[in-house]
Structure 1
Amino acid sequence: MRLHEYQAKQVFSDAGIPTPASELAGTVDETVAAAEEIGYPVAVKAQVHVGGRGKAGGIKLVEDKEEAREAAEDILGMDLKGYTVERVLVEEAVDFVNELYVGVTMDRGEGEPVAMVSTRGGVNIEEVAEEDPDAIAREHIDPAFGMHPYQARKVVYDAGVDRAIANDVASILRTLYQLWDDRDGSDAEINPLMVTGDDEVIAADAVFNVDEDALFRQPELAEMEEEGEFAESELERKADEYGFDYVRLSGNVGIIGNGAGLVMTTLDLVDHYGGSPANFLDVGGGAKADRIANALDMVFSDDNVDSVVFNIFGGITRGDEVAKGINQALEQFDEIPKPVVVRLAGTNWEEGMEILNEDLVTVEKTLEDAVQRAVEYAEEVEA
């Protein structure tokens, strides 16, 4: 379960992590009133579950009442990467001189939680990890003992944080880990943790994701999940309606498969061949033609998707039924909106291959070839 920024900041603030003064608003007038009460300058921030809100126009810094009204009119109701913005967080602007990153997550490879600190805050931490992994200091934590004070100080110093604020940053990191542990977190991040000219550190953003299977023992967070339903994306609503297991990701290669393991393998291969997955979509076993058509409708509805790869291994699911569904979905278009690559194997795969309209799709015999072709198509669109 993902908390919204305003919810995560409430959790962080209650635990003692410094956050800017802020108010939630759902209308233009509420936004202006909140800005007037907090005092200019303020940031008006869309409350949706996506990254890159600033680049997409979902965060605006305003200096007066007129700008606050204009920002609210622009942001409220906008479509932000498939999400309709229904609320904004009006927040005191922070006059900062530096931006840091602090986070806690589970390192599944090591089987332990890991705390991370970087002096390159304010940017996508995944990009930092890929381009300059040494810019992120890491410290693994034994969950039986929790984070010791020396571990928090060590990872902060390893990251090269200025000594004038190192103890404060270490204290925030320990609090973040304790929240992650006590509240059954999966990810906890502050990016950026802003540093002011007076050497104060303030959480200017907040991410807190919680293990849904543990919500029964986190009643306060469970209530926040219900409150946050207003920002569920249209794609997620469609997934619920169709009965799909669906997760939207940040890439541009759409993925459809039958079975969680098969879809995860396809995601891994897209990444392996230099692509970026746009989603996890499992149509389940025994998928009929109409269900396959619904899956394509969902993926085509995602503006981020530039190509689609279909990976079907027939057991209960029959290859000929899948092929009928793909044809049925694509034949309704005068022009195919995204290139589609199909790989069929298993039950009735040969019959399915014969049925597929190769004027509408690209057919590959192996999963590796199908993924590589889909990645190539996506790269051609980007170019």
Structure 2
Amino acid sequence: MKIRNYMLIGLLPLCFTACQTDEIPVPPEGNGNTEQTPEEPGESEDDSDKPINEELLLGLDATLKNLVESRSGVINAWQTGNEIGLYTEDKNLKYTYNGSKWIAAEPYEVQKEQTVYAYHPYSENIRDMYLDIDVTKQEDVMYGQCVVTSDFPTAKPEMNHALSLVRVKILRDEYLGEGMVTDVTIRNVTSYLRMNIQDGVVWKQDKKSDIPIGGGYMLNDANPTVPEAILPPLYHPQDVSVSFKLDGKDMSYTFPSYHEWEAGKIYTYSIKIKGAYNGEVNKEDVPIDVEYWSQFGKTDDIVIREVDFTNFEDMFFISGRTGYIPACTAVPAER
């Protein structure tokens, strides 16, 4: 009996221990800290994977200054495929018009206030803010600028025309021949230019070329065909002329050296043909019609004066196979 009592007394501590063990909660695995450990510097995602902030993207909404009626080569409304370059912060960005808006070739975020220089046509080869121009391509060249900020990142430059437009209107007047005009060409034109895209100032290079501008039409004074050329602004055109064939006869007219062709303006030269077929051909007067591209149809008054035969600088001539005859001079009136 004593031995059994001793055994019961010895088992009592084990029972107490078992009961206490069941009541103690088991801790979770690990250290029990459920907070995430902050990432060490350099462990974040690569910047190239960072989402683009579309609110900061540089956009384009260009307008045209001095709108004119539609002409060959001259842009008076944006067409699908037109390209404009935006130069800013040493970046030369290309934008293409898709028919309704301008699409950037690559995204560019505006992080601060900055000046944007716009130019047309776009070129990959912008050097020191200068655009090389080939006049023989007969492309309209434009420039403009504006300021953008992170709050207003869309560039809205007003585009200015950097070159002049020269038109040649040949009128039958008293000419009795068939009146077929062919091979109209502007000759001795400075054909390579360099434009500062900041202000549109054009610098002329040495090379000169002839630029064909049309032909293959009949004289029609009621509804004349008017060939035209996009030419460099010239304050004194030297030896620049227009030549054409009238019923196979070679004729030419040299633009007076005292004339001035300003950027963004249209100059129309009207050449009247006098004389019978196979007879003498001369010009009575060549009025100069200066039309501002912002107000199509506006003309300068023309002052006609008798030729001073001692002042050969101011004489105009149109030559034919039989020679030339001096006539009157036309001088734009002072504004």
Check whether TM > 0.5: no
Of the two, which has the highest radius of gyration? 2
TM-score, normalised via structure 2 length: 0.28
The structure with the greater share of residues assigned to helix is 1
The structure with the greater share of residues assigned to strand is 2
